[in-house]
């Protein structure tokens, strides 16, 4: 298994590197790979520095976008692993529990009503706050239940998701109708907000998700045998479930605050990773992070070249891939 994991990791890293280079080279303004290499070498001090529009496109626009794609893909995939294990639900993903609906409500309130009060940070801060509010609402509903079973968490998440979805629709109709395109693009997901300024927030979300999965891997492995087995091994299942959900909610909030609502990554990737490396969370989390980064990088590349020079929301691409994935799983079973 160790050799298999090493080979998969090496192949995945090579694919990720190739997609990253393609993500910098292709877009509404294609750039030759040699020019990309020259600009990056100059920025790293390995060659003569390159200035002008070409350098700005590569260094200030596309490179942060590629890095944000990697961070968001990794984070959402790992959060999907955490939620599917703790809820024992193969269809669980970061957006089943109201996190995306809360983030959407926060972002739409800024776009349609409140306006750009905090400069470039206005939209990320509003979306982050909305996601945290929705997560707090789910946890509050959970706390009022006698038990803390996974089905209660799913029901609470769905209730909060519908509530914030209704609020988002109300804000769209009651606010500035001229902002409808911005609302649609953000709620369908996009990576156009990527910049060196806000990239640390995305890296924080991905790092938190990875750290949670790796730090709790043994307790999550125990939960695979069932709640009774986990308790017999000394795992407090209720506390573990709440801890995982709280940390996953914080990580997801940081990610969707920059990327908008990108669905199906957290649902698809854990299934693909389990098919490759099994269910043990040490290798599963790492493999899911790698596949998630590859998936979102590839989806973003498709979204930029499919209707070039117009950009397609990346959430449309991931949703189409997710729908096909679910259909294949249903037909195979």
| pLDDT score of 55 | 85
Mean pLDDT comparison of 130-139, 175-184, 215-224, highest-scoring range: 215-224
Contacts of 3 (CB under 8 A, 6+ apart): none
**Could you tell me the end-to-end alpha-carbon distance of the chain, in angstroms, rounded to an integer?**
26
Confidence of residue 207 (pLDDT cuts 50, 70, 90): very high
| pLDDT score of 117 | 66
The CATH number, out of the four listed (3.30.450.40, 3.40.605.10, 1.10.3470.10, 3.30.460.80), of the domain defined by the range 2-332: 1.10.3470.10
| pLDDT score of 120 | 66
Q: Give the phi and the psi of residue 312 in degrees, each rounded to 5.
A: -95, 135
- What is the rounded CA–CA span in Å between residue 72 and residue 333? 30
Q: Give 79 or 238, the one with higher predicted confidence.
A: 79
Average pLDDT for 297-307: 90
- Write the CA distances from 293 to 20, 74, 90, integer angstroms: 10, 5, 20
The encoded tokens of residue 236 equal 């407090």
Q: What angle do CA 322, 324, 327 make, to 5 degrees?
A: 110
Q: Under a CB-based contact definition with an 8 Å cutoff, are residues 94 and 79 in contact?
A: yes
Orientation angle between helical segments 2-25 and 33-43, nearest 10 degrees: 100
The encoded tokens of residue 252 equal 């997801």
Range in 112-116, 135-139, 147-151, 173-177 the model is least confident about: 147-151
Provide the Cα torsion 81, 85, 87, 91; round to 10°: 50
Q: Is the dihedral of CA 128, 129, 131, 132 positive or negative?
A: positive
| pLDDT score of 200 | 93
Contacts of 61 (CB under 8 A, 6+ apart): 194
| pLDDT score of 150 | 65
DSSP 130-181: HHHHHHHHHHHHHHTSS---HHHHHHHHHHHHHHHHHHHHHHHHHS-GGGHH
Q: Give the phi and the psi of residue 117 in degrees, each rounded to 5.
A: -85, -25
- What is the rounded CA–CA span in Å between residue 212 and residue 82? 9
- Kindly state the DSSP code that residue 249 receives in the 8-state scheme: H
pLDDT over 90 for what percent of the chain? Answer: 31
Residue-wise pLDDT for 170-199, tens only, equals: 887 776 666 667 777 777 888 888 899 889
Indicate whether 274 pLDDT > 90: yes
Closest CA to 262 of 303, 210, 182, 317: 317
| pLDDT score of 307 | 80
- Write the CA distances from 78 to 92, 104, 122, 273, 303, integer angstroms: 12, 21, 27, 10, 23
Closest CA to 116 of 176, 185, 201, 191: 176
Confidence of residue 20 (pLDDT cuts 50, 70, 90): very high
Mean pLDDT of the chain: 85
Confidence of residue 283 (pLDDT cuts 50, 70, 90): very high
Confidence of residue 295 (pLDDT cuts 50, 70, 90): very high
Indicate whether 10 pLDDT > 80: yes
Range in 127-136, 148-157, 259-268, 306-315 the model is least confident about: 148-157
Average pLDDT for 141-145: 68
Structural domain boundaries of the chain? 2-332
The encoded tokens of residue 47 equal 């060659």
Q: Under a CB-based contact definition with an 8 Å cutoff, are residues 78 and 300 in contact?
A: no
- What is the rounded CA–CA span in Å between residue 121 and residue 257? 10
| pLDDT score of 190 | 85
Q: Under a CB-based contact definition with an 8 Å cutoff, are residues 270 and 277 in contact?
A: no
Indicate whether 309 pLDDT > 80: no
Indicate whether 33 pLDDT > 90: no
Confidence of residue 157 (pLDDT cuts 50, 70, 90): confident
Q: Under a CB-based contact definition with an 8 Å cutoff, are residues 57 and 29 in contact?
A: yes
């Amino acid at each position: 298994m160790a050799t298999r994991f090493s080979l998969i990791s090496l192949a995945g890293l090579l694919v990720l590197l190739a997609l990253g280079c393609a993500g910098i080279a292709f877009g509404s303004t294609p750039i030759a790979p040699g020019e990309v290499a020259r600009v990056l070498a100059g920025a790293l001090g390995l060659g003569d520095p390159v200035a002008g529009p070409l350098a700005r496109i590569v260094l200030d626009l596309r490179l942060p976008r590629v890095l944000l794609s990697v961070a968001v893909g990794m984070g959402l995939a790992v959060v999907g692993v955490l939620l599917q294990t703790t809820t024992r639900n193969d269809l669980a993903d970061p957006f089943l529990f109201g996190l995306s609906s809360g983030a959407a409500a926060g972002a739409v309130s800024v776009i349609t009503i409140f306006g750009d009060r905090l400069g470039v940070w206005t939209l990320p801060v509003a979306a982050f706050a909305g996601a945290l509010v929705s997560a707090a609402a789910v946890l509050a509903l959970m706390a009022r239940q006698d038990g803390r079973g996974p089905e209660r968490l799913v029901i609470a998440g769905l209730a909060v998701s519908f509530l914030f979805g209704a609020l988002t629709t109300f804000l769209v109709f009651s606010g500035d109708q001229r902002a409808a395109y911005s609302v649609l693009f953000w709620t369908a997901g996009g990576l156009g907000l990527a910049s060196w300024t806000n990239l640390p927030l995305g890296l924080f979300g991905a790092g938190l998700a990875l750290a949670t999965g790796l730090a709790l891997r043994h307790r999550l492995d125990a939960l695979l045998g069932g709640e009774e087995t986990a308790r017999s091994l000394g795992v407090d299942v209720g506390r573990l479930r709440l801890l995982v959900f709280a940390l996953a909610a914080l990580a997801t909030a940081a990610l969707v605050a920059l990327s908008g609502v990108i669905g199906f990554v957290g649902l698809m990737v854990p299934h693909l990773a389990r098919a490759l490396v099994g269910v043990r969370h040490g290798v599963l989390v790492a493999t899911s992070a790698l596949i998630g980064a590859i998936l979102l990088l590839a989806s973003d590349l498709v979204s930029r070249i499919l209707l070039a020079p117009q950009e397609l929301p990346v959430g449309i691409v991931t949703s189409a891939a997710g729908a096909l994935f679910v259909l294949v799983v249903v037909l195979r079973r």
